[in-house]
Amino acid sequence: MGFFAKILVLLLVIGVAWFGWRWWQRAEADRLNRPRSPAPPRDTGLRNPGLPPSRAADEMRHCPVCDDYVSINARRCDRPTCPRG
């Protein structure tokens, strides 16, 4: 009787594994085929679309003393020959 009990338990384990696998595959397919919710609208950074966008960067000019580009709104540097007065 021990041999038949082992065969029965083995068939029971195989059956549970088989039906569990089928259930898991069906649940995964349902999850993948479920329609998604729409994405939230993207923020374009414009608060009022009727207005032109503000300048995001300062205008730059070449400084002959520093030999670098400096913002036109920049303050005077520490050099005595600074053209910013």
Q: In residues, how long is the chain?
A: 85
* Distance, CA of 58 to CA of 69 (rounded, Å): 11
* Distance, CA of 73 to CA of 59 (rounded, Å): 8
* Distance, CA of 13 to CA of 6 (rounded, Å): 11
For the chain, helix, strand, coil in percent to 5 are 40, 10, 55
Q: pLDDT digits over 43-64, tens only? A: 665 555 665 656 566 778 887 7
pLDDT of amino acid 74: 75
- Single-letter amino acid code for the residue at 64: P
Binned average pLDDT, 10 residues per bin, the chain of 85 residues: 90 97 93 80 62 65 78 74 66
Q: Is 50 helix (H, G, I), strand (E, B) or coil?
A: coil
What are the beta bridge partners of residue 61? 70
